[in-house]
Structure 1
């Protein structure tokens, strides 16, 4: 069924084709005029064959660069999730302490916000050269 050029396409296929065309443009394979003309043809395309005609003279696009991974477990998105959650809650904790704890200078509770940020997101055990301490 993938070989049938007369099969109708939807918005998702047009968007993927436009993303691919944009990649070709950013790689320098197309001029602005060619990009405009081909993107218009993609927007007007109703079949798979019409989309394929837009890319006939272009090679398959280069893969997008993936970010470099590190072996540092503390920099993963999973470990930052709880830290971000704590930072979202800390202003409310400071506000509650401000109103509920009857002490002079209760405004100092708001210093919990930057202090918590420094503790959670500070140096994180890294030296300036990017290596972990104590390993």
Structure 2
């Protein structure tokens, strides 16, 4: 399917791409800002070609381990996103000139609720 770059993609392909990007981030191939930028590109991608452009300068398969073992259950990329959100909130706080810019810090609990709040069977009771 790589020869059909303009074919539309769905949520499953974007999630798979984000998992792959997370593995590259865990392997140290990306900085936090690169991961943040590329994650945004993945989230807004509508075609396979747009996804492929995110990975042009990365190896085709990351090193084994981490999320590649198949035991991550989706938690790895969620944890990474959760780690990046406070940095994004802090950057927005200082860079966006609006009144009540402290509200950007509400992104932290909101993101946690979105990523982990509705998940069943995530440990605990």
TM, length-normalised to structure 1: 0.46
Instruction: Mark the structure with the bigger radius of gyration.
Output: 1
User: Relative contact order: is structure 1 or structure 2 higher (C-alpha 8 Å, sep ≥ 6)?
Assistant: 2
TM-score of the superposition, structure 2-length normalised? 0.50
